[in-house]
Amino acid sequence: MTLDQEKLNWMKGTKKPFLIAGPCSAESEEQLRSSVMPILNKVDYVRAGIWKPRTRPGNFEGVGEKGLVWINTLKKEMPFHFATEVGTPEHVELALKHQVDLVWIGARTTVNPFLVSELAEVLRGTDLPVLIKNPIHPELALWKGAIERFAKNNVRGLGAIHRGFHSYQKSLYRNIPLWQIPLDLKSEFPELPLLCDPSHIGGDRQMISKISQKALNLAYDGLMIETHYAPDQALSDAQQQVSPQQLLKILDHLTYRRPGLTEETFLNQLEIIREQIDQADLELLQALAKRMDLVAHIGEIKKEHNVAIFQISRWKEIFKSRLEMGKEFKLDESFIMEMLRLLHQQSVKKQTEIFDNEPSTHKNG
> Judged by CB, which is closer to ligand PEP: 144, or 200?
200
Dihedral sign for Cα atoms in the order 70, 73, 78, 80? positive
| Cα–Cα dist 175/163, whole Å | 7
Q: Which is nearer to ligand PEP, 200 or 303 (CB)?
A: 200
Single out the segment in contact with Mn ion by CB under 5 A; choices: 33-41, 129-137, 175-183, 232-240: 232-240
Least gap, CB of 168 to ligand PEP (angstroms): 17
Residues that bind Mn ion (rule: CB under 5 A) add up to a total of 2
Q: How far apart are the first and last CA of the chain?
A: 72
- By the 8 A CB rule, do 226 and 22 touch? yes
57 alpha carbon, distance to own chain's centre:
21
What angle do the packed helices 208-217 and 263-304 form, to 10 degrees? 130
Q: Could you tell me where the beta strands, DSSP code E, fall in 134-282?
A: 158-162, 194-196, 222-226
- 23 vs 244, which CB is nearer to ligand PEP? 23
The smaller minimum CB distance to ligand PEP, of residues 149 and 302, is found at 149
Nearest approach in angstroms of CB 230 to Mn ion is: 15
Separation CA 148–CA 166 (nearest Å): 23
How far apart are CB 315 and Mn ion at their closest, in Å?
51
Q: How far apart are CA 110 and CA 177, in angstroms?
A: 17
* All residues at 6 or more sequence positions from 345 whose CB lies less than 8 Å from its CB, including other chains: none
Rounded to whole angstroms, the Cα distance separating 60 from 70 reads 18
* Nearest position to ligand PEP, beta carbon: 106
Residue with Cβ nearer Mn ion (136 or 336): 136
Comparing CB distances to ligand PEP, the nearer of 195 and 298 is 195
Q: How far is the CB of 254 from ligand PEP (least distance, A)?
A: 20
Strand partners, 159: 131
202 binds, among ligand PEP, Mn ion, none (CB under 5 to 8 A by kind): none
Least distance from ligand PEP to the Cβ atom of residue 328, Å: 36
Q: Kindly list the residues in this chain that would bind ligand PEP in the complex (CB under 6 A).
A: 24, 49, 85, 106-108, 133, 163, 200
Please identify, using beta-carbon distances, which residue of 85 and 101 lies nearer to ligand PEP.
85
CB of 108 to ligand PEP, least distance (A): 6
Radius of gyration of the chain (CA): 26
Hey, is 66 helix, strand or coil? helix
Shortest distance in whole angstroms from residue 239 CB to Mn ion? 10
Segment 2-41, which members bind Mn ion (CB under 5 A)?
24
- The answer to whether residue 237 forms part of the interface with Mn ion (CB under 5 A) is yes
Q: Other C-beta atoms within 10 Å of 118: how many? A: 16
Q: Is 74 in the site for Mn ion (CB under 5 A)?
A: no
Q: Is 221 in the site for Mn ion (CB under 5 A)?
A: no
- Alpha-carbon gap, residue 225 to 249, rounded angstroms: 13
Nearer to Mn ion, 24 or 251 (CB): 24
* Phi-psi label, residue 159: left if phi above 0, alpha if psi -120 to 50, beta otherwise: beta
CA atoms within 13 A on the CB side of 38: 17
* Rounded least distance, CB 250 to ligand PEP, Å: 17
What does the binding site for Mn ion look like in residue numbers (CB under 5 A)?
24, 237
